[in-house]
Structure 1
Amino acid sequence: MTLILTASDWIAKIEAVLLKALMAAVTLLLILNVITRAINWSLYWVDELAVNLMVVFAFVGSSLMFAQRRNFCVTLVSDAVSDATRRWMSIGVQSVNLGFALFLAYACWAWFDPLSLAGYGFDLRQFFENTFNSVYQEVTDTIGIRRLWFFLVMPWFAFTLTVHSAACLLRDIRRIPEPGTQP
Protein backbone atom coordinates (compact mmCIF):
# COMPACT_ATOMS: atom_id res chain seq x y z
CA MET A 1 0.00 0.00 0.00
CA THR A 2 2.74 2.46 0.94
CA LEU A 3 4.54 1.68 -2.31
CA ILE A 4 1.55 2.80 -4.40
CA LEU A 5 1.09 5.99 -2.39
CA THR A 6 4.80 6.82 -2.60
CA ALA A 7 4.92 6.00 -6.31
CA SER A 8 1.91 8.24 -6.96
CA ASP A 9 3.52 11.12 -5.08
CA TRP A 10 6.83 10.72 -6.96
CA ILE A 11 5.12 10.41 -10.33
CA ALA A 12 3.12 13.57 -9.58
CA LYS A 13 6.35 15.45 -8.85
CA ILE A 14 7.88 14.23 -12.12
CA GLU A 15 4.72 15.18 -14.01
CA ALA A 16 4.76 18.69 -12.52
CA VAL A 17 8.33 19.23 -13.75
CA LEU A 18 7.54 17.68 -17.13
CA LEU A 19 4.49 19.94 -17.52
CA LYS A 20 6.62 23.02 -16.90
CA ALA A 21 9.14 21.88 -19.52
CA LEU A 22 6.39 21.10 -22.03
CA MET A 23 4.70 24.45 -21.43
CA ALA A 24 8.00 26.27 -21.92
CA ALA A 25 8.69 24.34 -25.12
CA VAL A 26 5.23 25.03 -26.55
CA THR A 27 5.49 28.72 -25.61
CA LEU A 28 8.89 29.02 -27.30
CA LEU A 29 7.60 27.23 -30.39
CA LEU A 30 4.61 29.56 -30.61
CA ILE A 31 6.84 32.62 -30.25
CA LEU A 32 9.13 31.23 -32.95
CA ASN A 33 6.09 30.63 -35.13
CA VAL A 34 4.84 34.20 -34.72
CA ILE A 35 8.27 35.68 -35.44
CA THR A 36 8.94 33.55 -38.53
CA ARG A 37 5.48 34.26 -39.95
CA ALA A 38 5.92 37.99 -39.29
CA ILE A 39 9.09 38.03 -41.39
CA ASN A 40 7.40 35.87 -44.04
CA TRP A 41 9.65 32.86 -43.43
CA SER A 42 7.29 30.21 -42.01
CA LEU A 43 8.67 27.06 -40.46
CA TYR A 44 5.92 24.49 -40.97
CA TRP A 45 7.45 21.91 -38.70
CA VAL A 46 6.96 24.29 -35.75
CA ASP A 47 3.16 23.96 -36.02
CA GLU A 48 3.28 20.18 -36.05
CA LEU A 49 5.73 19.95 -33.17
CA ALA A 50 3.72 22.43 -31.08
CA VAL A 51 0.48 20.49 -31.67
CA ASN A 52 2.09 17.15 -30.79
CA LEU A 53 3.67 18.59 -27.64
CA MET A 54 0.29 20.06 -26.62
CA VAL A 55 -1.27 16.61 -26.93
CA VAL A 56 1.48 15.16 -24.73
CA PHE A 57 0.92 18.09 -22.35
CA ALA A 58 -2.80 17.29 -22.15
CA PHE A 59 -2.20 13.66 -21.18
CA VAL A 60 0.50 14.43 -18.62
CA GLY A 61 -1.63 17.24 -17.20
CA SER A 62 -4.69 15.02 -16.98
CA SER A 63 -2.73 12.42 -15.07
CA LEU A 64 -1.48 15.05 -12.63
CA MET A 65 -5.02 16.37 -12.20
CA PHE A 66 -6.20 12.88 -11.25
CA ALA A 67 -3.36 12.58 -8.74
CA GLN A 68 -4.35 15.89 -7.15
CA ARG A 69 -8.08 15.14 -7.42
CA ARG A 70 -8.56 18.24 -9.53
CA ASN A 71 -10.34 16.38 -12.31
CA PHE A 72 -13.70 17.64 -13.48
CA CYS A 73 -16.60 16.67 -11.30
CA VAL A 74 -20.18 17.61 -10.62
CA THR A 75 -20.61 18.18 -6.91
CA LEU A 76 -24.35 18.82 -6.82
CA VAL A 77 -25.06 15.43 -5.24
CA SER A 78 -21.87 14.99 -3.23
CA ASP A 79 -22.31 18.40 -1.59
CA ALA A 80 -25.80 17.44 -0.43
CA VAL A 81 -24.96 14.13 1.25
CA SER A 82 -23.27 13.13 4.48
CA ASP A 83 -19.51 12.67 4.79
CA ALA A 84 -19.91 8.88 4.95
CA THR A 85 -21.96 8.82 1.74
CA ARG A 86 -19.51 11.21 0.08
CA ARG A 87 -16.66 8.85 1.00
CA TRP A 88 -18.48 5.88 -0.58
CA MET A 89 -19.23 7.94 -3.67
CA SER A 90 -15.54 8.82 -3.93
CA ILE A 91 -14.62 5.15 -3.59
CA GLY A 92 -17.03 4.38 -6.42
CA VAL A 93 -15.59 7.12 -8.63
CA GLN A 94 -12.02 6.05 -7.95
CA SER A 95 -12.98 2.45 -8.73
CA VAL A 96 -14.35 3.56 -12.10
CA ASN A 97 -11.18 5.61 -12.71
CA LEU A 98 -9.04 2.58 -11.90
CA GLY A 99 -11.15 0.38 -14.16
CA PHE A 100 -10.77 2.88 -17.01
CA ALA A 101 -7.00 3.10 -16.43
CA LEU A 102 -6.68 -0.69 -16.54
CA PHE A 103 -8.78 -0.84 -19.72
CA LEU A 104 -6.57 1.85 -21.27
CA ALA A 105 -3.47 -0.14 -20.30
CA TYR A 106 -4.96 -3.20 -21.99
CA ALA A 107 -5.85 -1.15 -25.10
CA CYS A 108 -2.28 0.20 -25.29
CA TRP A 109 -0.92 -3.33 -24.94
CA ALA A 110 -3.15 -4.47 -27.80
CA TRP A 111 -2.27 -1.40 -29.91
CA PHE A 112 1.51 -1.64 -29.49
CA ASP A 113 1.40 -5.46 -29.51
CA PRO A 114 4.93 -5.95 -28.15
CA LEU A 115 4.70 -9.76 -28.06
CA SER A 116 3.96 -9.99 -31.78
CA LEU A 117 6.71 -7.47 -32.50
CA ALA A 118 9.15 -9.62 -30.54
CA GLY A 119 7.79 -12.73 -32.29
CA TYR A 120 8.76 -11.18 -35.64
CA GLY A 121 12.26 -10.51 -34.35
CA PHE A 122 11.57 -6.75 -34.03
CA ASP A 123 11.42 -6.60 -37.83
CA LEU A 124 9.01 -3.69 -38.35
CA ARG A 125 8.27 -4.55 -41.97
CA GLN A 126 7.39 -8.15 -41.17
CA PHE A 127 5.35 -7.02 -38.17
CA PHE A 128 3.33 -4.61 -40.34
CA GLU A 129 2.83 -7.13 -43.18
CA ASN A 130 1.40 -9.69 -40.78
CA THR A 131 -0.57 -7.49 -38.39
CA PHE A 132 -1.35 -4.39 -40.49
CA ASN A 133 -0.31 -2.41 -37.41
CA SER A 134 1.73 0.63 -38.45
CA VAL A 135 2.15 2.17 -34.99
CA TYR A 136 5.94 1.71 -35.14
CA GLN A 137 6.36 2.96 -38.71
CA GLU A 138 4.19 6.08 -39.04
CA VAL A 139 6.22 9.23 -39.59
CA THR A 140 5.17 12.81 -38.88
CA ASP A 141 4.42 14.93 -41.95
CA THR A 142 6.87 17.80 -41.52
CA ILE A 143 9.20 16.88 -38.67
CA GLY A 144 10.07 13.53 -40.19
CA ILE A 145 10.30 11.54 -36.97
CA ARG A 146 8.28 8.50 -35.99
CA ARG A 147 4.92 9.22 -34.40
CA LEU A 148 5.72 6.46 -31.95
CA TRP A 149 7.63 8.97 -29.82
CA PHE A 150 4.42 10.96 -29.36
CA PHE A 151 2.21 7.85 -29.12
CA LEU A 152 4.22 6.66 -26.10
CA VAL A 153 2.34 9.17 -23.97
CA MET A 154 -0.65 6.79 -24.08
CA PRO A 155 0.96 3.86 -22.22
CA TRP A 156 2.60 6.38 -19.89
CA PHE A 157 -0.82 7.90 -19.19
CA ALA A 158 -2.35 4.45 -18.65
CA PHE A 159 0.40 3.57 -16.18
CA THR A 160 0.31 6.84 -14.25
CA LEU A 161 -3.48 6.95 -14.19
CA THR A 162 -3.51 3.41 -12.82
CA VAL A 163 -1.06 4.35 -10.05
CA HIS A 164 -2.82 7.63 -9.20
CA SER A 165 -6.29 6.04 -9.22
CA ALA A 166 -5.11 3.15 -7.06
CA ALA A 167 -3.50 5.62 -4.63
CA CYS A 168 -6.67 7.74 -4.45
CA LEU A 169 -8.77 4.62 -3.94
CA LEU A 170 -6.47 3.43 -1.14
CA ARG A 171 -6.59 6.85 0.50
CA ASP A 172 -10.39 6.77 0.39
CA ILE A 173 -10.68 3.22 1.70
CA ARG A 174 -8.07 3.66 4.47
CA ARG A 175 -9.06 7.27 5.19
CA ILE A 176 -5.53 8.48 4.56
CA PRO A 177 -5.36 12.26 4.14
CA GLU A 178 -4.12 13.73 0.86
CA PRO A 179 -0.47 14.85 0.79
CA GLY A 180 -0.09 18.39 2.09
CA THR A 181 -3.31 18.32 4.16
CA GLN A 182 -3.77 18.10 7.92
CA PRO A 183 -5.12 14.76 9.22
Structure 2
Amino acid sequence: MSDLKSDPPIVSAASWPVRGIVGASECVLRIERRVLSGLMALLVILVLINVVTRYAGVPIYWIDEASVYTMVWLTFVGASIMTRLRLDFSVGMLTEKLSPRGVRIARIVATACVLSFALAMVWMCWTWLDPIGIASYGFDAHAYAGESFNFLYTERTQTLNWPVWILRMVMPLFAISLTLHALANLFEDLSWTPRQSRRNFPVSSPDMVN
Protein backbone atom coordinates (compact mmCIF):
# COMPACT_ATOMS: atom_id res chain seq x y z
CA MET A 1 0.00 0.00 0.00
CA SER A 2 1.61 3.23 -1.12
CA ASP A 3 1.53 6.29 1.03
CA LEU A 4 -0.58 9.21 -0.18
CA LYS A 5 2.32 11.61 -0.32
CA SER A 6 4.36 9.28 -2.52
CA ASP A 7 1.69 8.73 -5.16
CA PRO A 8 2.98 10.17 -8.46
CA PRO A 9 0.70 12.42 -10.47
CA ILE A 10 -1.20 10.60 -13.20
CA VAL A 11 -0.21 11.72 -16.68
CA SER A 12 -3.12 11.56 -19.08
CA ALA A 13 -4.34 13.12 -22.30
CA ALA A 14 -6.52 15.41 -20.20
CA SER A 15 -3.59 16.83 -18.25
CA TRP A 16 -3.69 20.20 -20.03
CA PRO A 17 -7.28 21.06 -18.92
CA VAL A 18 -6.35 19.89 -15.43
CA ARG A 19 -3.38 22.23 -15.38
CA GLY A 20 -5.56 24.99 -16.78
CA ILE A 21 -8.16 24.62 -14.04
CA VAL A 22 -5.53 24.47 -11.31
CA GLY A 23 -3.81 27.52 -12.77
CA ALA A 24 -7.11 29.40 -12.95
CA SER A 25 -7.81 28.45 -9.33
CA GLU A 26 -4.43 29.81 -8.25
CA CYS A 27 -5.03 33.03 -10.19
CA VAL A 28 -8.45 33.49 -8.56
CA LEU A 29 -6.88 32.76 -5.18
CA ARG A 30 -4.35 35.54 -5.65
CA ILE A 31 -7.11 37.97 -6.60
CA GLU A 32 -9.21 36.87 -3.64
CA ARG A 33 -6.33 37.51 -1.25
CA ARG A 34 -6.09 41.12 -2.41
CA VAL A 35 -9.86 41.58 -2.32
CA LEU A 36 -9.95 40.11 1.18
CA SER A 37 -7.27 42.51 2.39
CA GLY A 38 -9.14 45.44 0.86
CA LEU A 39 -12.45 44.40 2.42
CA MET A 40 -10.85 43.99 5.84
CA ALA A 41 -9.31 47.46 5.61
CA LEU A 42 -12.62 48.91 4.43
CA LEU A 43 -14.51 47.28 7.30
CA VAL A 44 -12.08 48.67 9.87
CA ILE A 45 -12.38 52.17 8.37
CA LEU A 46 -16.17 52.02 8.32
CA VAL A 47 -16.36 50.85 11.93
CA LEU A 48 -13.96 53.55 13.11
CA ILE A 49 -15.89 56.27 11.26
CA ASN A 50 -19.11 54.93 12.73
CA VAL A 51 -17.72 55.05 16.26
CA VAL A 52 -16.31 58.56 15.88
CA THR A 53 -19.42 60.03 14.28
CA ARG A 54 -21.75 58.46 16.82
CA TYR A 55 -19.58 59.71 19.66
CA ALA A 56 -19.65 63.19 18.11
CA GLY A 57 -23.43 63.05 17.86
CA VAL A 58 -23.53 63.17 14.06
CA PRO A 59 -23.99 59.52 13.03
CA ILE A 60 -23.82 58.60 9.36
CA TYR A 61 -26.68 56.14 8.93
CA TRP A 62 -25.56 54.49 5.70
CA ILE A 63 -22.33 53.29 7.32
CA ASP A 64 -24.21 50.61 9.27
CA GLU A 65 -25.58 49.12 6.06
CA ALA A 66 -22.25 49.46 4.29
CA SER A 67 -20.54 47.63 7.16
CA VAL A 68 -23.04 44.78 6.96
CA TYR A 69 -22.56 44.30 3.22
CA THR A 70 -18.79 44.55 3.60
CA MET A 71 -18.91 41.79 6.21
CA VAL A 72 -21.07 39.65 3.92
CA TRP A 73 -18.61 40.00 1.05
CA LEU A 74 -15.73 39.40 3.44
CA THR A 75 -17.34 36.16 4.63
CA PHE A 76 -17.92 34.76 1.15
CA VAL A 77 -14.47 35.68 -0.14
CA GLY A 78 -12.85 34.25 2.99
CA ALA A 79 -14.84 31.02 2.68
CA SER A 80 -13.66 30.59 -0.90
CA ILE A 81 -10.03 31.12 0.11
CA MET A 82 -10.34 28.69 3.02
CA THR A 83 -11.73 26.03 0.69
CA ARG A 84 -8.75 26.22 -1.68
CA LEU A 85 -6.28 26.27 1.22
CA ARG A 86 -8.13 23.37 2.90
CA LEU A 87 -8.62 25.42 6.05
CA ASP A 88 -12.35 24.79 6.32
CA PHE A 89 -13.74 22.73 9.18
CA SER A 90 -12.99 19.02 9.28
CA VAL A 91 -13.57 16.12 11.65
CA GLY A 92 -10.60 13.81 12.22
CA MET A 93 -12.06 11.35 14.75
CA LEU A 94 -12.66 8.74 12.05
CA THR A 95 -10.03 9.49 9.46
CA GLU A 96 -7.14 9.53 11.93
CA LYS A 97 -7.82 5.82 12.50
CA LEU A 98 -7.83 4.95 8.79
CA SER A 99 -4.99 3.66 6.68
CA PRO A 100 -3.29 6.05 4.21
CA ARG A 101 -5.48 4.61 1.44
CA GLY A 102 -8.59 5.14 3.57
CA VAL A 103 -7.57 8.73 4.28
CA ARG A 104 -7.09 9.31 0.56
CA ILE A 105 -10.54 7.93 -0.24
CA ALA A 106 -12.11 9.99 2.55
CA ARG A 107 -10.40 13.11 1.24
CA ILE A 108 -11.67 12.48 -2.29
CA VAL A 109 -15.23 11.90 -1.03
CA ALA A 110 -15.15 15.07 1.10
CA THR A 111 -13.86 17.16 -1.79
CA ALA A 112 -16.47 15.66 -4.13
CA CYS A 113 -19.19 16.69 -1.66
CA VAL A 114 -17.86 20.26 -1.67
CA LEU A 115 -17.85 20.23 -5.46
CA SER A 116 -21.44 18.94 -5.53
CA PHE A 117 -22.52 21.74 -3.20
CA ALA A 118 -20.72 24.32 -5.35
CA LEU A 119 -22.38 23.06 -8.54
CA ALA A 120 -25.79 23.08 -6.84
CA MET A 121 -25.15 26.67 -5.79
CA VAL A 122 -24.20 27.62 -9.35
CA TRP A 123 -27.50 26.18 -10.58
CA MET A 124 -29.43 27.97 -7.80
CA CYS A 125 -27.81 31.31 -8.62
CA TRP A 126 -28.50 30.85 -12.33
CA THR A 127 -32.17 30.18 -11.57
CA TRP A 128 -32.33 33.08 -9.12
CA LEU A 129 -30.64 35.69 -11.32
CA ASP A 130 -32.37 34.34 -14.46
CA PRO A 131 -30.21 36.30 -16.94
CA ILE A 132 -32.04 34.83 -19.94
CA GLY A 133 -35.40 35.78 -18.45
CA ILE A 134 -34.59 39.42 -17.82
CA ALA A 135 -32.80 39.66 -21.18
CA SER A 136 -36.03 38.52 -22.87
CA TYR A 137 -37.70 41.63 -21.40
CA GLY A 138 -35.02 43.92 -22.78
CA PHE A 139 -33.54 44.25 -19.29
CA ASP A 140 -36.67 46.08 -18.17
CA ALA A 141 -36.57 45.19 -14.46
CA HIS A 142 -40.14 46.30 -13.72
CA ALA A 143 -41.68 44.42 -16.61
CA TYR A 144 -39.69 41.33 -15.71
CA ALA A 145 -40.71 41.57 -12.03
CA GLY A 146 -44.36 42.01 -12.96
CA GLU A 147 -44.39 38.74 -14.88
CA SER A 148 -41.95 36.58 -12.92
CA PHE A 149 -42.47 38.00 -9.38
CA ASN A 150 -38.68 38.09 -9.11
CA PHE A 151 -38.03 41.53 -7.63
CA LEU A 152 -34.26 41.16 -7.38
CA TYR A 153 -33.60 43.76 -10.07
CA THR A 154 -36.07 46.34 -8.75
CA GLU A 155 -35.07 46.38 -5.07
CA ARG A 156 -32.70 48.96 -3.67
CA THR A 157 -30.91 49.11 -0.34
CA GLN A 158 -32.50 51.14 2.44
CA THR A 159 -29.83 53.77 3.13
CA LEU A 160 -27.22 53.41 0.39
CA ASN A 161 -29.96 53.30 -2.26
CA TRP A 162 -27.85 50.91 -4.33
CA PRO A 163 -29.36 48.21 -6.57
CA VAL A 164 -29.62 45.08 -4.45
CA TRP A 165 -28.61 42.75 -7.28
CA ILE A 166 -25.13 44.31 -7.47
CA LEU A 167 -24.41 43.59 -3.81
CA ARG A 168 -25.86 40.08 -4.05
CA MET A 169 -23.60 39.22 -6.96
CA VAL A 170 -21.23 37.94 -4.30
CA MET A 171 -23.24 34.71 -4.23
CA PRO A 172 -22.79 33.69 -7.90
CA LEU A 173 -19.16 34.84 -7.77
CA PHE A 174 -18.65 32.67 -4.70
CA ALA A 175 -20.38 29.72 -6.36
CA ILE A 176 -18.09 29.96 -9.39
CA SER A 177 -14.89 30.36 -7.36
CA LEU A 178 -15.94 27.55 -5.00
CA THR A 179 -16.51 25.26 -7.98
CA LEU A 180 -13.11 26.16 -9.40
CA HIS A 181 -11.30 25.62 -6.09
CA ALA A 182 -13.14 22.37 -5.39
CA LEU A 183 -12.18 21.05 -8.84
CA ALA A 184 -8.54 21.98 -8.25
CA ASN A 185 -8.60 20.28 -4.84
CA LEU A 186 -10.20 17.18 -6.34
CA PHE A 187 -7.56 16.94 -9.07
CA GLU A 188 -4.88 17.13 -6.38
CA ASP A 189 -6.62 14.49 -4.26
CA LEU A 190 -6.83 12.20 -7.29
CA SER A 191 -3.09 12.76 -7.86
CA TRP A 192 -3.76 14.15 -11.30
CA THR A 193 -1.56 17.11 -10.41
CA PRO A 194 0.89 17.81 -7.58
CA ARG A 195 -0.31 19.77 -4.60
CA GLN A 196 0.53 23.44 -4.71
CA SER A 197 3.11 24.57 -2.17
CA ARG A 198 2.47 27.99 -0.68
CA ARG A 199 5.17 29.54 1.46
CA ASN A 200 2.88 32.50 2.10
CA PHE A 201 0.31 30.24 3.77
CA PRO A 202 2.21 28.33 6.49
CA VAL A 203 -1.06 27.36 8.21
CA SER A 204 -2.21 25.32 5.21
CA SER A 205 -1.77 21.71 6.25
CA PRO A 206 -1.47 18.99 3.58
CA ASP A 207 -2.33 16.32 6.14
CA MET A 208 -5.92 17.44 6.73
CA VAL A 209 -8.66 15.31 5.21
CA ASN A 210 -10.42 18.31 3.73
TM-score tier (shorter): over 0.9
Cα 1:68–1:40 shift into 2, 3 Å? same
Larger helix proportion, structure 1 or 2? 1
The structural deviation recorded for 1:136 is: 1.2
Runs of 5+ unmatched residues, structure 2: 1-17, 200-205
Residue matched to 1:136: 153
TM, length-normalised to structure 2: 0.84
- Structure 2 residue aligned with 1:37, among 46, 54, 61? 54
- Structure 1 residue aligned with 2:163, among 146, 159, 163? 146
- Structure 1 residue aligned with 2:93, among 76, 86, 97? 76
Residue matched to 2:41: 24
CA deviation string 1:60-115 (max 9, x = no partner): 10000001000111111111111111110010011111110000000000000011
Secondary structure, counterpart of 1:134 in structure 2:
coil
Query: What amino acid is aligned across from residue 174 of structure 2 in structure 1?
Result: F
Residue matched to 1:52: 69
Larger radius of gyration: 2
Distance 1:140 1:102 in 2: 29
Matched, 1:119 2:145: no
Query: What amino acid is aligned across from residue 111 of structure 2 in structure 1?
Result: Q
Residue matched to 1:99: 116
**How many residue pairs end up in the alignment?**
183
Residue matched to 1:109: 126
Distance 2:143 2:167 in 1: 23
Distance 2:93 2:198 in 1: 24
